[in-house]
Structure 1
Amino acid sequence: MTRDVPERHPLNRLFWGITENTFQTELGIADPRLVDYVAGLLTRFVPSQAIYKLRDAEGKQVSEVTAMVAQAESSADEERRRECHRHIGDFTLFWTGVYPEALPKLRAAMSADHLIDFQEQGKRSYYLASTYSGDEAPVLRRLSVEFELCAFGLSLVRQEWERERAEGASGQLGLILGS
């Protein structure tokens, strides 16, 4: 079971502030909906079990992108397909942008994801999720088109929170992120 970080939690404000500053000043992206989405992605994935929230028909955790795609493609439920594709986009963006050093392990030789290009799959999944109706469709489409830029932005966000943690500027962040 995943637990959500409450909306008023300081971590939400912290990630939103760092993401807004980074995306606006470093990347020139002043899009509140995109910033909200990316900051929300970071906050959602803080409880690490949320990274692997997708379950198969037996309730077993789905941890490989190939299995996530299979879940999306095999579902007869349009909302389930949209949510699976959105999660695949989030999952691949998170690992590509925040922790790219983990990609070799995620794509290990014995993994079903060995041949998966996380950037291409993320772009494809965000695009597919954006084709379903919903308020997030424009943001998901933009994430598809600007996946690499957003991944780079997330790498800058990580650098900033690590700088703040190293400087002791955010004791709460250090506790949550494991300093």
Structure 2
Amino acid sequence: MFSEFEEVPKSSLGRLFGDLVQRSFDDLQVGNPQLRGYVRDLLCRFVRTDALFRIKDPGGRGIETVVELLIEGDRAKTMEDGVSYTIDVQRHTGDYALFMSGIFRAYVERYGYLDFYLETGPRAYRATAGLERGLGFRPGPYEILAREFEHLSGAIDYMKKVYFGVATMQGDLKEIARRFSLWN
């Protein structure tokens, strides 16, 4: 399923996030090229709030918390032909936990969610890997994401603290910085 992800176009946003991920992950000696690309793509996707909240509850409302995603993941398991949707929900849960614990760490810490996110994200990625393996899919990055989750989350937090300020001053992240500042 990893190969089914939309590739991030060679947009200025993709180049910017690629550069920021590269610099910060190099500083911390974190992540192989596949993980760095995954994080870049994740950041590009989640700049759009509709992508961040794309998993819907039965009423059609965008799910906004990890707890709601876990509930939806349990519901997906009971659906007829729900394996594909379960994989999608599990992957999104891992992505959401990684994004929130990295970019919005101050918010997550302030409300006491950080440990929960650092436990739930890897568990969701492991579940994704297991489900894909069970379907015979080519191994994606999910086992490695699970194993490296805390390091990746910390590297994203570091990137925000160290490099977003510089990028914002250069005018590269004006809109992103505005959106991110609303959460912190």
TM-score range, shorter chain: 0.7 to 0.9
Structure 1 distance, partners of 2:120, 2:175, is: 33
For 1:110, the equivalent position in structure 2 comes to none
Pair 1:94 & 2:99 matched: yes
Instruction: Answer whether contact 2:8 2:41 (CA < 8 A) is retained.
Output: no
Instruction: Answer whether contact 2:91 2:124 (CA < 8 A) is retained.
Output: yes
Q: Which AA in structure 1 matches 2:149?
A: F
Structure 2 distance, partners of 1:116, 1:104, is: 8
For 2:125, the equivalent position in structure 1 comes to 126
1:83 aligns with one of 64, 88, 96: 88
Would the alpha carbon gap of residues 155 and 115 (structure 1) be closer, same or farther in structure 2, given more than 3 Å must change?
closer
Structure 2: runs of 5 or more not aligned: 1-5
For 1:143, the equivalent position in structure 2 comes to 145
Q: RMSD over aligned Cα, in angstroms?
A: 2.5
For 2:175, the equivalent position in structure 1 comes to 175
Structure with larger RCO (C-alpha < 8 A, sep 6+): 2
For 1:111, the equivalent position in structure 2 comes to none
Structure 1 distance, partners of 2:31, 2:118, is: 23
Q: Which AA in structure 1 matches 2:172?
A: Q
Q: Which AA in structure 2 matches 1:159?
A: K
Overall identity of the aligned pairs, in %: 23
Per the TM alignment, residue 65 of structure 1 is displaced from its structure 2 partner at its CA by 1.4
Would the alpha carbon gap of residues 106 and 61 (structure 1) be closer, same or farther in structure 2, given more than 3 Å must change?
farther
Pair 1:72 & 2:77 matched: no
| TM-score between both structures, scaled by the size of structure 2 | 0.79
Deviates more, 1:53-62 or 1:146-155: 53-62
Cα deviation per residue 1:14-38 (whole Å; 9 max; x = unaligned)?
A: 1011112221x22323521111100
Per the TM alignment, residue 45 of structure 1 is displaced from its structure 2 partner at its CA by 0.8
| TM-score between both structures, scaled by the size of structure 1 | 0.81
Cα deviation per residue 1:81-135 (whole Å; 9 max; x = unaligned)?
A: 011011111111111111111115666xxxxxx7981110111001101113245
Structure 1: runs of 5 or more not aligned: 108-113
Instruction: Answer whether contact 1:27 1:153 (CA < 8 A) is retained.
Output: yes
Pairs within 5 Å for 1:13-52: 13-23=15-25, 25-29=26-30, 31-52=32-53
Higher helix share: 2
